[in-house]
Amino acid sequence: MAGIYVHIPFCKSKCTYCDFASFPKEIGKTESYFACLYRETEGRGKALKNKVFDTIYFGGGTPSIVPAKFIAGEIRQIKKFFNLAKNPEITIELNPGTVDSEKIKAYKSVGINRFSIGLQTGYDDQLKELNRIHTAKDFLTTCNLLKGENISADILIGLKNQTAEQVKKTIDLALAGGVKHISMYALTPEVGTPIYTDYLNGELLSDDEVADIYDAARSYLAEKGIYRYEVSNFAAHGFESRHNYNYWQRGEYIGLGVSASSFIDGRRFTNTFNLNEYMNAVIYNKTPEISNEEISGDDAEFEFIMLSLRTEKGMDVEKFNKEFSADFKTKYAAAVKKNEKYTEFIGNYFRIKDEYLYVQNSIVTDFLR
């Protein structure tokens, strides 16, 4: 099975930490963009008719900022040209204050069955500093509109002057809204974003402080019945994201829209990040891709190891051996030995121990050949 990612690049305002392809001033190009997106969807679908896809994910940007008819149109286009599995998981990212009951009704009518809300923090002063357009109350209002649905929430840690207690209160807010899945990401100050200035000024939390907040939040989530299944993702049993889990299993996926990345048949490729370039390429029947790389050999093996070790369960050694016609324990014996304090074999799985998963990057580099 494989996944489909659809990028919607429009939003009301740019958050201070955002490094994604999102264009607050280009909302007037919505109709033109979707016309191009529909055309790319048709072409990609025809080229991939031999593959089965079981997840669709609308990300951004803020997909919920555009009229629901455009999202519905893209889903109809996907269903028309892609080979979908029965009962696919269909997720849409949305921000509080950008949806109402009619829009949600429209989403559900075309099969959207998972809703990912950008909460980030439960504190209005922090939301304002991040240039978010909503309040904590707006979040609960949105959750009420989605009552009974499969809801996920995004939370940021590492904000200026943030405390573990504040993150716990944000978790409480999310759970009060009926959330069954939480994605908890550490703030990454990217060059060119407004928040990067705070980083240069030494105003953000240190790595150790963020790690302490992460550990406190992980324990608190577990107490509430929300368990970690990947380093940044937590869910009640049965509410894990199928779409995201496919990434960590090095599964295939096709990305549609500006800046969208794909991994198909061992090839990784990415569409242009420039909105006008993307639309012009599609209009003139040219590929919007700006990068294209075949991943094989040791590089493919490292990807498999790196992605799998992000998960709580770890890497399926038997699957690795079969996929790469290699013996993991023999080929990577030195790296395993070096990290025996931090890793373990449980049955057929090789995993990073619970207390070290958050710092997995420093461990997996030893498996790079």
Task: Name the domain boundary from 225, 247, 269.
Answer: 247
Q: What is the pLDDT of residue 200?
A: 76
Query: Is residue 277 a part of any domain in this protein?
Result: no
Asked if residue 362 and residue 230 are part of one domain, the reply reads no
Asked if residue 333 and residue 206 are part of one domain, the reply reads no
φ/ψ (deg, to 5) at 124: -60, -35
Asked if residue 320 and residue 239 are part of one domain, the reply reads no
Asked if residue 341 and residue 205 are part of one domain, the reply reads no
Q: What is the pLDDT of residue 368?
A: 87
Query: Is residue 342 a part of any domain in this protein?
Result: yes
Asked if residue 204 and residue 87 are part of one domain, the reply reads yes
Among 3, 1, 75, 6, residue whose Cα is nearest residue 243: 3
Tens of pLDDT along the chain (369 residues) come to 899 999 999 987 756 666 666 777 789 999 999 999 999 999 999 999 999 999 999 998 899 999 999 999 999 999 999 999 999 999 999 999 899 999 999 999 999 999 999 999 999 998 888 888 889 999 999 999 999 999 999 999 999 899 999 999 999 999 999 999 999 998 886 776 776 777 677 777 888 999 999 999 999 999 999 999 999 999 999 999 999 999 999 999 999 999 999 999 999 999 999 999 999 999 999 999 999 999 999 999 999 999 999 999 999 999 999 999 999 999 999 999 999 999 999 999 999 999 999 988 889 999 987
Rounded distance between C-alpha atoms, residue 208 and residue 304, angstroms: 28
Query: Is residue 114 a part of any domain in this protein?
Result: yes
Asked if residue 333 and residue 229 are part of one domain, the reply reads no
Asked if residue 22 and residue 145 are part of one domain, the reply reads yes
Query: Is residue 306 a part of any domain in this protein?
Result: no
Asked if residue 207 and residue 117 are part of one domain, the reply reads yes
Task: Name the domain boundary from 201, 226, 247.
Answer: 247
Asked if residue 211 and residue 129 are part of one domain, the reply reads yes
Q: What six digits make up the tokens of 22?
A: 């999102």
Q: Are 182 and 234 in contact (CB under 8 A)?
A: yes
- Dihedral angle, C-alpha 326, 327, 330, 332, nearest 10 °: 70
Query: Is residue 116 a part of any domain in this protein?
Result: yes
Task: Name the domain boundary from 196, 215, 247.
Answer: 247
Q: What is the pLDDT of residue 14?
A: 59
Asked if residue 353 and residue 215 are part of one domain, the reply reads no
The one-letter amino acid at 171: I
Query: Is residue 58 a part of any domain in this protein?
Result: yes
Identify the three-state secondary structure at position 297: helix
Rounded distance between C-alpha atoms, residue 229 and residue 193, angstroms: 30
Q: What is the pLDDT of residue 192?
A: 67
Query: Is residue 256 a part of any domain in this protein?
Result: no
Q: What is the pLDDT of residue 205?
A: 84
Q: What is the pLDDT of residue 21?
A: 65
DSSP run (H or E) holding 165: helix 164-176
CATH (domain of 198)? 3.80.30.20
Asked if residue 236 and residue 120 are part of one domain, the reply reads yes
Q: What is the pLDDT of residue 124?
A: 92
Asked if residue 240 and residue 322 are part of one domain, the reply reads no
Report the number of distinct structural domains present in the chain: 2
Q: Are 317 and 328 in contact (CB under 8 A)?
A: yes
Query: Is residue 262 a part of any domain in this protein?
Result: no
Q: Is 317 exposed, middle or buried (0-12, 13-18, 19+ CB in 10 A)?
A: middle
For residue 177, cis peptide bond before it (omega within 30 degrees of 0): no
Residue 328 domain boundaries: 316-367
Q: What is the pLDDT of residue 23?
A: 72
* Residues near 287 by beta carbon (within 8 Å), at least 6 away in sequence: 281
